[in-house]
A and B are shown apart, each in its own frame.
Chain A
Amino acid sequence: MAPILLGIVPFGLIAGISAVSVGLSPLHGVGMSILVFAGASQLAALQLIGRDAPFLVVAATALIINARFVMYSASLAPHFDGASTGRKALLAYLLTDQAYAFSIRRYAERDETVLARLSYYLGAAITLWVTWQISTAVGAFVGTSIPDAWSLDFAIPLVFIALLVPAIRDRADGVAAGIAAVLAVLLVGLPYNLGLPLAATTGIVAGIIVERIPS
């Protein structure tokens, strides 16, 4: 768990700092982390708020990024079968890339009772939640005192690069990423930052097509 937490802390600090650097208050930074609790989508939303993108584009981009949670939800659902609806809602709110990766590895290794599985998931997910909230809050409150000359806005794409590189595992991923990247640059002049959702969607479609072509 320690190496995972070591990755969360700088990511959380940047999310907090970014909220302030795009002109929001520290309270917005903290509130966003508690409500949304999904770092990549928070950073994407903040980057777009900083570029004055309209409400719908910001919301749609954040939700496209978080659509991957459906995949995790489907993968974890059989392991949470039997929990009460209220408990399931709590488990769902706490779902992150890290909590998913951590738990699904354990479930593959051991055949445990539902209660043991839930406890394991909750232990990891709550640790991640607390770490994320503390680091974004620290970032949001120290963010106001960081000078613009440090160019800390650049930390947002840096976090995305750190998440992007391990997400490219095969040829189809590479094509999806490459086409989305090139199109996003070509369409960067489009109004309302519409280039981003268009480029990402085209990349996803390209990935699906490439995957179907036998290599």
Chain B
Amino acid sequence: MKVWLLFLVIAAGTFLLRFSVIALWGKLGTAPDSIERGLRFIPPAVLSALVLPAVATSNGHVDIGPRTAAGVVAALVAWKTRSVFFTIVAGMGALWILQAL
């Protein structure tokens, strides 16, 4: 994998997404409402599509195990505390305990 090229492609694309409306402001009309409505769902949809396979599958198969349980613990802590720090601490702690059992 050409890692630096990959980083440059992601960086350039990300910059254009950030710059898009700031750069074009005043030069174009406003964006259609439907686009903005769709963008709203990107974080919940993409993040959950990343999370569930990481905690409930391994090597391409469903695998309910310590990582699943630790993920549930982390989700509860995230919900209660809204803290990245405590979510990581709780999730890693739960995983280490379950792996040691």
Q: For the complex, is A122 an interface residue (Cβ under 8 Å from B)?
A: no
Encode contact with A along B37-80: 1 for CB under 8 Å, 0 otherwise.
11111111111111111111100111000010011001100110
Q: A166-B82, A189-B61 are in contact. Are A77 and B21 (CB under 8 A)?
A: yes
**Chain B interface residue number, banded:** 35 or more
Majority secondary structure of chain A interface residues (helix, strand, loop or mixed): helix
Encode contact with A along B3-20: 1 for CB under 8 Å, 0 otherwise.
111111111011101111
Residue numbers in B under 8 Å from A74 (CB-CB): 20-21, 30-31, 36
Cross-chain contact B10 with A59 (CB below 8 angstroms): yes
Cross-chain contact B42 with A65 (CB below 8 angstroms): yes
Q: A81-B25, A154-B92 are in contact. Are A36 and B10 (CB under 8 A)?
A: yes
Majority secondary structure of chain B interface residues (helix, strand, loop or mixed): helix
Residue numbers in A under 8 Å from B85 (CB-CB): 6-7, 9-10
- When C-beta atoms are compared, the residue in chain A nearest to B91 turns out to be A158
* 21 A–B pairs (Cβ distance < 8 Å), ordered by A: A40-B47, A49-B6, A62-B14, A65-B43, A66-B14, A70-B31, A71-B39, A73-B18, A74-B20, A89-B23, A92-B15, A150-B96, A154-B91, A156-B54, A158-B71, A164-B51, A177-B45, A181-B48, A199-B49, A203-B48, A204-B41
